[in-house]
Structures are given as structure tokens and as C-alpha cells.
């Protein structure tokens, strides 16, 4: 996926959102601005940015990793905090694999309740 990532050029494609769905883009931008407001939130900005970084690592979104790692540092995060956020993401992703592995065992065993969803 990183072959497609271009920090500068990719932003030009926002024009499609602006042209085709400006109302949704405006609502998304307002929502994002509220979530990452510098003041007025219970969780300090640095921690919200570290959470966003961990989520970006978990979902493997290079754009999120790029933006939120830089924003976390701007909000005062250290390299140690970035590293711990990365490890949290890694643990959650591994835990998901572990838990879904149990589901595979359940499905393989033919548990009818596992097929009801």
C-alpha cells in the first residue's frame, strides 16, 4: 500500500469530495475538528493523538500513521510514548487474532450457535 502513498499529491484528490459531496466533507471536517480540538475535551490532545496513532497502526492506514504520529509529537508525545502506542496496537491486533482463532475452532467443531450470526 505504501507504493500508493504520496503525502503531497494524494491531497489533491480531496477535490472529488469537494465537488461531489461538499456537505458530507464539511460535516466530516467539523467532526474531526471537534474530536481533535486542542482544548475542551476530557482526554488531553496528546493522548487522543496517541490513541489515533494506535488505531492507525492497527488498521494499517499509512495516512493516519503519518498524520497522527506527527500530531502526537506536536502535542508533546515522546518517542517512548510513540513506541508504547505501537505496542498497544500490536497487542490489540494479536489479541484479535487469538480471539478469532478460538472462533475458528468453534466453527470447525460444527457448533451450530456459531453459524447463527
Asked whether 49 and 71 are in contact (CB, 8 A), the reply is: yes
Please tell me the predicted confidence (pLDDT) of residue 74: 98
Please tell me the predicted confidence (pLDDT) of residue 61: 94
- Letter string b/e over residues 86-97, b meaning 16 or more CB atoms within 10 A of that residue's CB: bebbeeeeeeee
Dump pLDDT digits (tens) for 29-83.
Answer: 999 999 999 999 999 999 999 999 999 999 999 999 999 999 999 999 999 999 9
Residue in the block written with cell 461538499: 22
Query: 84 to each of 15, 42, 70, how far by Cα in Å?
Result: 36, 21, 15
pLDDT: which is higher, 114 or 79: 79
Q: What is the mean pLDDT of residues 82-107?
A: 96
* Class of 42-117 in CATH: mainly alpha
Q: What is the mean pLDDT of residues 91-98?
A: 95
Amino acid at each position: 500500500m505504501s507504493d500508493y502513498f504520496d503525502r503531497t499529491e494524494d491531497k489533491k484528490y480531496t477535490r472529488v469530495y469537494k465537488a461531489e459531496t461538499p456537505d458530507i466533507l464539511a460535516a466530516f471536517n467539523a467532526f474531526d475538528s471537534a474530536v481533535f480540538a486542542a482544548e475542551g475535551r476530557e482526554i488531553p490532545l496528546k493522548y487522543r493523538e496517541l490513541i489515533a496513532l494506535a488505531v492507525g497502526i492497527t488498521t494499517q492506514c499509512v495516512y493516519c500513521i503519518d498524520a497522527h504520529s506527527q500530531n502526537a509529537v506536536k502535542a508533546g508525545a515522546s518517542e517512548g510514548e510513540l513506541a508504547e502506542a505501537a505496542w498497544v496496537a500490536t497487542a490489540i491486533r494479536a489479541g484479535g487474532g487469538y480471539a478469532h482463532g478460538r472462533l475458528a475452532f468453534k466453527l470447525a467443531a460444527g457448533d451450530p450457535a456459531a453459524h447463527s450470526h
